[in-house]
């Protein structure tokens, strides 16, 4: 679906409720959660890597700090494809001097139009202190309304838990991310409790 042009960049503002149906594809073996709350931004990911019905790895790191550690990025999907996307996104950040919004827009555009990139089976969440974006292989660029978004097979559980905790508790962003990921790990068989959290 093409993204509407705005005065600055073509970003679609989509309600968080629509995130679970943005691509129609289900990516197993991963839960990545972004929480922006009370002026803090956290990105959390579990460590499980699953091949079919077999758990191959328990402590994988699916989150990175980019551009002088000022931007967080996490991936769901094929590891090789995700590393290729990380590399491309880092290049965009360098090109646009750390402007997260512009870099995300340009990566989404390339992902939608480039024949090789379109074959990559992965999704990304990228965030800085003020913005959070989800990028998909269909060229979608989604900015959640409330700063909370998740991808992967445990994503819906983690996102629902994080939204409830943000609304009805006094926990900070990191605590919300850790508790929500723990709940997702209890529910989703493709998610474990070896959680990595990065914070800005």
pLDDT band at 178 (very low <50, low <70, confident <90, very high): very high
**What CATH number is attached to the domain comprising 73?**
3.60.20.10
Residues 66/76, Cβ–Cβ less than 8 Å? no
Residue 20: pLDDT above 50?
no
Residues 155, 23: Cα–Cα separation, whole Å: 14
Mean pLDDT throughout 93-102? 96
Residue 7 lies in a domain: no
- Structural domain for 48, as ranges: 24-192
Q: Which of the pair, 88 or 134, is modelled with greater confidence? A: 134
Whole-prediction pTM value? Answer: 0.82
Catalytic center residues: 30
pLDDT band at 11 (very low <50, low <70, confident <90, very high): very low
Residue 65 lies in a domain: yes
Residue 15 lies in a domain: no
Residues 165, 181: Cα–Cα separation, whole Å: 12
Per-residue pLDDT of 62-97, as tens digits, reads 999 999 999 999 988 777 777 778 888 999 999 999
pLDDT band at 22 (very low <50, low <70, confident <90, very high): very low
Angle of helix 173-187 relative to helix 155-168, nearest 10 degrees?
140
152 bridge partner residues: 31
Residue 13 lies in a domain: no
The dihedral through the CA atoms of 182, 23, 135, 172 has a sign that is negative
Residues 14, 22: Cα–Cα separation, whole Å: 10
Residue 181 lies in a domain: yes
Residues 46/181, Cβ–Cβ less than 8 Å? yes
pLDDT at 189: 92
pLDDT at 5: 46
Report the domain count for the chain: 1
């Amino acid at each position: 679906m093409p993204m509407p042009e705005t005065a600055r960049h073509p970003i679609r503002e989509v309600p968080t409720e629509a995130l679970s149906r943005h691509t129609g594809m289900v990516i197993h073996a991963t839960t990545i959660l972004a929480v922006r709350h009370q002026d803090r931004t956290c990105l959390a990911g579990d460590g499980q890597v699953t091949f079919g019905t077999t758990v191959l790895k328990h402590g994988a790191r699916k989150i990175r700090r980019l551009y002088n550690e000022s931007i967080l990025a996490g991936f769901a999907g094929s590891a090789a494809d995700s590393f290729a996307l990380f590399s491309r996104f880092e290049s965009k950040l360098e090109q646009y001097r750390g402007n997260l919004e512009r870099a995300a827009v340009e990566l989404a555009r390339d992902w939608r139009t480039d024949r090789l990139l379109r074959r990559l089976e992965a999704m990304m969440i990228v965030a800085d202190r003020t913005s959070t974006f989800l990028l998909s292989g269909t060229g979608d660029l989604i900015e959640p309304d409330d700063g909370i978004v998740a991808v992967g097979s445990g994503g819906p559980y983690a996102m629902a838990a994080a939204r409830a905790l943000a609304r009805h508790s006094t926990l900070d962003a990191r605590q919300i991310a850790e508790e929500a990921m723990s709940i997702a790990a209890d529910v989703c068989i493709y998610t474990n409790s070896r959680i990595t959290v990065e914070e800005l």
